[in-house]
Amino acid sequence: MSTRAALSPTVVSVTPESPAADVGVLPGDEIVRVNGDEPRDVIEWTFATDEPNVELDVVRGGLELAFTIDKAPGAPLGVEVSSAVFDRVRTCDNHCEFCFIYQLPKGMRRSLYLKDDDYRLSFLYGNFTTLTRFTEADLERVVTERLSPLHVSIHATDPEMRAHMLKNRRGATSLRWLRALLDHGISVRGQVVVCPGQNDGVVFDDTMAGILDEYPELDAVAVVPLGVSRFNPADTMRPHTQTEAAAIVDTVESWQHTFLDVLGRRMVYVADEYYLMAQRPFPAGVDYDGFPMHEDGIGMARTFESEFRGQADEVTGVRRGFFAAVDAPPNPAAYTGLRTCSSHEAEPAAESAVDTAVSVGVTMRPSRRAPVGVLTGAMGARVIEPLVAELGRDDVRVLPVDNKFFGGNTGVTGLMTGADVARVLGTQPAGHRYLLPDVCLSDDGRFLDGVSVDELPRPVEIVVTDGRALRSALEVAA
Q: Could you report the per-residue pLDDT of 455-469, keeping only the tens digit for each?
A: 999 999 999 999 999
CB 117 within 8 A of CB 93: yes
Domain match, 380 and 252 both: no
**pTM summary value:** 0.84
CA distance 133 to 114: 16
Q: Are residues 47 and 138 in the same domain?
A: no
Does a structural domain hold residue 305? Answer: no
Per-residue model confidence (pLDDT) at position 273: 95
DSSP-assigned states of every residue in 88-156? ---B-----TT-GGGGPPTTS-GGGG--B--HHHHHHH---B--TT--HHHHHHHHHHT---EEEE-S-
Asked if residue 133 is part of any domain, the answer here is yes
- Overall number of domains in the chain: 3
Same domain, yes or no: 69 and 108: no
Quick one: how far is CA 5 from the chain centroid? Answer: 29
The answer to whether residue 321 sits within a structural domain is no
The answer to the question of residue 219 being in a domain is: yes
Computed over every residue of the chain, the mean pLDDT equals: 87
Alpha-carbon distance of 14 to 23, in angstroms, equals 11
Please state the separation of Cα 260 from the chain's center in Å. Answer: 28
pLDDT score, position 8: 82
In a domain, 332, yes or no: no
Helix (H) or strand (E) holding 207: helix 201-214
C-beta of residue 431 within 8 angstroms of C-beta of residue 424: no
pLDDT at 1: 34
Q: Where does a domain end: 276, 298, 320?
A: 298
The domain that holds 210 is classified in CATH as: 3.20.20
Question: Do residue 246 and residue 126 come from a single domain?
Answer: yes
Tell how strand 356-358 and strand 372-377 pair up: unpaired
Calpha distance 194→196 (Å, rounded): 6
For residue 211, the number of C-alpha atoms closer than 13 Å in the C-beta half-sphere is 31
> 425: helix, coil or strand?
helix
Q: For 146-190, what is each residue's pLDDT tens digit?
A: 999 999 999 999 999 999 999 999 999 999 999 999 999 999 999
What's the domain range around 31? 5-81
The DSSP bridge pattern shows strands 372-377 and 433-437 to be parallel
| Closest among 467, 415, 468 to 442, alpha carbons compared | 415
pLDDT digits (tens, 9 = 90+) for 203-262: 999 999 999 999 999 999 999 999 989 998 888 899 999 999 999 999 999 999 999 999
Cβ atoms within 10 A of the Cβ of 242, count? Answer: 11
Q: Do 75 and 108 fall within a single domain?
A: no
Instruction: Please tell me the distance from the alpha carbon of residue 127 to that of residue 237, in angstroms, as a whole number.
Output: 22
Does 39 fall in a domain?
yes
SS3 337: helix
Same domain for 114 and 250, yes or no, is yes
Q: What residues have CB less than 8 Å from 215, skipping those under 6 apart?
A: 154, 157, 175, 178, 179, 182, 188, 190
Confidence at residue 359, expressed as pLDDT on a 0 to 100 scale: 37
d(CA 210, CA 22): 56
On whether residue 398 sits in a domain, the answer given is yes
Residue ending a domain, among 271, 298, 325, is: 298
The number of C-alpha atoms within 13 Å of 257 and in the hemisphere containing its C-beta is 5
Most confident of the ranges 58-67, 73-82, 340-349:
58-67
Among 323, 280, 346, which Cα is nearest to 443's? Answer: 323
Q: How far apart are CA 199 and CA 162, in angstroms?
A: 9
User: Which residues are within 8 A (CB) of 391 and not within 5 positions of it... i.e. 6 or more apart?
Assistant: 474
Q: Give the pLDDT score at 373.
A: 97
Average pLDDT estimate for 392-419? 94
State whether 281 and 402 are in the same domain.
no
Examine residue 337 and state whether it is found in any structural domain, yes or no: no
Q: How confident is the model at residue 109 (pLDDT cuts 50, 70, 90)?
A: confident
Mean pLDDT of 371-387: 96
Say if residue 274 is in the same domain as residue 243.
yes
At residue 65, the 3 state secondary structure works out as strand
**Res 114: pLDDT:** 75
> Among candidates 447, 439, 464, 468, which has minimal Cα distance to 356?
464
Cis ω for the linkage preceding 149 (within 30 of 0): yes
pLDDT at 478 over 70: no
- Are 353 and 469 in contact by the 8 Å Cβ rule? The answer is yes
Q: Of 81, 112, 143, which closes a domain?
A: 81
Residues 32 and 64: their CA atoms lie apart, in Å, by 9
On whether both 107 and 57 belong to a single domain, the answer is no
Query: Do 120 and 191 belong together in one domain?
Result: yes
CATH number at residue 43: 2.30.42.10
User: pLDDT band for position 85 (50/70/90)?
Assistant: confident
Beta bridge partners of 150: 188
As a whole number of angstroms, the distance between CA 352 and CA 437 comes to: 12
Contacts for 285-289: CB closer than 8 Å, 24+ residues apart: 289/220, 289/265
Query: Do 171 and 119 reside in the same domain of the chain?
Result: yes
Same-domain pairing of 234 and 107: yes
